[in-house]
Amino acid sequence: MNSLAAEERLAFQHSTARLLADRSTEVDVRRTMETPSGYDADLWKAMADLGVVGLIIDPAYGGAGAGPVEVEVVFEEAGAALLCSPLLSSGVLAAGLLQALDDEDANLRLLPAIADGSLIATAALTGPRGTWTPGAVAVRARAEGDACRLDGRASFVTHAHVADVLLVAANAADGLAIFEVEARAAGVAVTPAPTFDHTLRIAEVAFDGAPARRISTSRPAWDAVEEALSLARVALAGEQAGGGRRVLEFTVDYAKTRLQFGRAIGSYQAIKHMAADLLLESESATSAARHAAAQLAASASDAKAAVELAAFACADAFVKICADAIQMHGGIAFTWNHPAHLYLRRARSDAQLFGAAAFHRERYVCELEAAHG
């Protein structure tokens, strides 16, 4: 996969960090998460102008031509800032899936508009079981002359409510394939679902004879899905590492200034030892996320294993950091107004998206067995 030069990567990281420090403050996040769309359209435009939305898209289609390493770096910033945005759905998952399928017509039709932010796409890859495996796909495709129609349901579709285009995994007569569907076409019903993480949007999508265009590919379609999911998992891992680091920072700061019994609570070993353990979690998550990105970018033989490891290690670390952070703060973090629960909500959601930790642990062992035998 692609990579940028180090200076270019740093520039992306810094400009993203500056933009988010300015436009995705806690106040912004709290305001945006209560809106129906769940994202800030002006910020979305600014991110597109910066090149972040089209980060991984080939320059031939108007993107920055970056890869997993840059995605990971940008998502560390997004995670730290609790960014409310369809970036993962459109810029990573949908764009990644299109490029993995590599249908020239579809690429020309969709990627330039995804890159400049004028079109939001997402991928509908799993059914009600929510396992992101081929067996869980609950949409069927039938041919109708030259066209196709879809029936069935897709669940946990991120940002479907604001998407213009859905990339839908469906079982056709000749096997699983990916279909392009206009989100607002007749026969498509997008029902937003209430989410535990208010900074995230997911929807249930019902297809009832929805008109669809099959995206052609020279490879098994689910292989392309896995490639896109790997990229999305690296993005999530970066988000988890960056989010965890931010939570640990403000928790340690609080432990230095909150006084009880005449001492900073961070001077007590009960708190200090928790903080030390969380630093190990946080640093390990960062190492895992960056390693997975690097191996994926290099198409290394252990890239799959590295992604699986990052997927469960970063998910577990982010949840633990957020959960312990609330305990370390005490009563103040039990209030709605304190940001800790926003991060815990994000952490618990991230830990389920695109496969839960136990799923990735199992696949990690499989990878290690395969590497041996």
Between CA 16 and CA 50 the distance in angstroms is: 8
* Distance between CA atoms of residues 313 and 304, nearest Å: 14
Half-sphere exposure of 53 (CA within 13 A, CB side): 26
Stretch that binds another protein, among 115-123, 124-132, 325-333, 365-373 (CB under 8 A): 365-373
Q: Does 354 bind another protein (CB under 8 A)?
A: no
CB burial of residue 299 (10 Å; 0-12, 13-18, 19+): exposed
Closer residue to another protein (CB): 173 or 372: 372
- Among the listed residues 287, 338, 352, 356, the single contact to another protein using CB under 8 A: 287
CB of 359 closer than 8 Å to CB of 131: yes
Region near another protein per CB under 8 A, out of 12-20, 176-184, 265-273, 339-347: 265-273
Closest residue by Cα to residue 271 from 293, 254, 286 = 254
What is the distance in angstroms between the CA of the first residue and the CA of the last residue of the chain? 26
Judged by CB under 8 A, the number of residues near another protein is 35
What is the nearest approach in angstroms of another protein to the Cβ of residue 101? 31
Q: Does 252 bind another protein (CB under 8 A)?
A: yes
Stretch that binds another protein, among 121-129, 135-143, 225-233, 250-258 (CB under 8 A): 250-258
Binding of another protein at residue 266 (CB under 8 A)?
Answer: yes
Residue 370 contacts another protein per CB under 8 A: no
**Binding flag, residue 73, another protein (CB under 8 A):** no
Which of 159, 161, 214, 290 touches another protein (CB under 8 A)? 290
279 sits near another protein (criterion: CB under 8 A): yes
Among positions 21, 41, 280, 332, the unique one binding another protein when judged by CB under 8 A: 280
Q: Tell me if 247 contacts another protein by CB under 8 A.
A: no
How, if at all, do strands 188-193 and 138-144 pair? unpaired
Burial 158-175 (b: 16+ CB within 10 A, else e): bbbbbbbbbbbbbbbeee
User: Residue 157: enclosing H or E segment and its boundaries?
Assistant: strand 147-158
Residues that bind another protein (CB under 8 A): 252, 255-256, 263-264, 266-269, 271-273, 275-277, 279-280, 283-284, 286-288, 290-291, 309, 312-313, 358, 361-362, 364-365, 368-369, 372
